[in-house]
């Protein structure tokens, strides 16, 4: 089994949480997303979307982190990460869908608008243009273009912050009544959402769960106490984290202003 991934990628973190839970250690290939490794022809053969992660099993690629996690739970059912009860399993699936339907795009926009744009702006303009032109998904390309140029003032940012805010409210309500998102058992619901909350913490935005959303901070701490959190913690790139923390603090006031306007 081989994993093509990137250390700070939220989708790769999601898959690594599951791999660690199952005590699996695939051969790892690290892609540098700021050098455009994800759109090189040899990688596009595996993942035509030009994104990480991709799991390759016996030469066959599996793309999409949510699908990879389900594949891993199907193939290595012990310990199980999907609840047995069909109704609880449905709830788990609804949580696991949240990144795919809205939160991942919001995370991409916020991460670029606050932090990653600075890494891109350090490159020559022709290299930025080359990397953008090679992105297969036009929406992803446009979000990255806007946020590299305009940062937090890019038109797509305010809605992305509101998307995140709504998800946090839903999560906090659930976590007031159960320790994990789909109830009493840690599941693919938690592995799906943890990287997105951890990203906010890295961006110095954990104040988003102060006050009436403290159940999120407690859930995050509970998750950090589990051995599989190494799937996030052991891959931290300190240069990225330092940039995220610094630029996230600078962005805090604007984000608060956006949330007040809602
Ligand atoms: N829906 C995909 C999204 C994958 C994705 O967007 N991955 C990001 C990192 S978290 C990526 O590779 N970005 C590189 C780029 O956009 O150029 C999944 O869940 O696997």
Question: What pLDDT is attached to residue 261?
Answer: 86
- Where the chain has pLDDT below 70, the residues are 262
| Element holding 240 (H helix, E strand) | helix 238-261
pLDDT at residue 262, rounded to an integer: 61
**pLDDT single digits (tens) 54-71:** 999 999 999 999 999 999
If one residue of 4, 5, 11 were mutated to test the ligand 1 pocket, choosing by the most ligand atoms within 8 A of its CB, it would be 11
Residue 37 is predicted with a pLDDT of 97
| pLDDT above 70 as % of the chain | 100
Question: Residue 208 half-sphere exposure, CB side, CA atoms within 13 Å?
Answer: 32
Which of 35, 36, 52 to mutate to test ligand 1, by most ligand atoms within 8 A of the CB atom? Answer: 52
**In this structure, CATH architecture of domain 2-75:** 3-Layer(aba) Sandwich (3.40)
The atom of ligand 1 lying closest to the CA of 39 is 17
**In which element (H, E) is residue 5 found?**
strand 2-5
Q: In terms of DSSP bridges, do strands 54-57 and 60-63 run parallel, antiparallel, or are they unpaired?
A: antiparallel
Ligand 1 centroid to residue 52 C-alpha, Å: 5
Provide the CATH number for the domain formed by 86-261 in this structure. 1.20.1050.10
Instruction: Provide the residue ranges of all domains of the chain, joining segments of one domain with +.
Output: 2-75, 86-261
Longest dimension (CA), the chain: 54
Residue 262 Cα to ligand 1 middle (Å): 28
The string of pLDDT tens digits covering residues 130-183 is 999 999 999 999 999 999 999 999 999 999 999 999 999 999 999 999 999 999
Question: Residues near 154 by Cβ (< 8 Å), separated by ≥ 6?
Answer: 109, 113, 146, 147
* Same CATH fold assignment for domains 2-75 and 86-261: no
Nearest CA to ligand 1 atom 10: 9
Q: What is the pLDDT of residue 27?
A: 98
């Amino acid at each position: 089994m081989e994993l093509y991934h990137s250390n700070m990628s939220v989708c790769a973190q999601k898959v690594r949480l599951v791999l660690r839970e199952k005590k699996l250690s695939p051969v790892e290939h690290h892609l540098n997303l700021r050098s455009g490794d994800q759109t090189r022809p040899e990688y596009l053969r595996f993942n035509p979307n030009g994104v990480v992660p991709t799991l390759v099993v016996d030469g066959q690629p599996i793309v999409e982190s949510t699908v990879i996690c389900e594949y891993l739970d199907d193939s290595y059912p012990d310990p199980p990460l999907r609840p047995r009860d069909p109704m609880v399993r449905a709830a788990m699936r609804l949580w696991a869908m949240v990144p795919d339907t809205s939160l991942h795009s919001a995370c991409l926009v916020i991460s670029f608008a606050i932090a990653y744009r600075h890494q891109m702006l350090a490159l020559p303009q022709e290299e930025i243009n080359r990397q953008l032109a090679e992105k297969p998904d036009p929406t992803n390309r446009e979000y990255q273009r806007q946020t590299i140029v305009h940062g937090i003032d890019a038109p797509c940012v305010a809605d992305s912050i509101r998307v995140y805010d709504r998800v946090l409210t839903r999560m906090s309500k659930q976590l007031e009544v159960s320790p994990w998102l789909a109830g009493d058992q840690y599941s693919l619901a938690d592995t799906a959402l943890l990287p997105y909350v951890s990203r906010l913490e890295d961006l110095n935005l954990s104040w988003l769960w102060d006050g009436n959303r403290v159940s999120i901070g407690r859930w995050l701490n509970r998750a950090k106490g589990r051995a599989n959190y190494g799937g996030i913690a052991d891959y931290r790139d300190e240069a990225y984290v330092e940039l995220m923390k610094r630029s996230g603090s600078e962005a805090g006031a604007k984000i608060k202003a956006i949330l007040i306007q809602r």
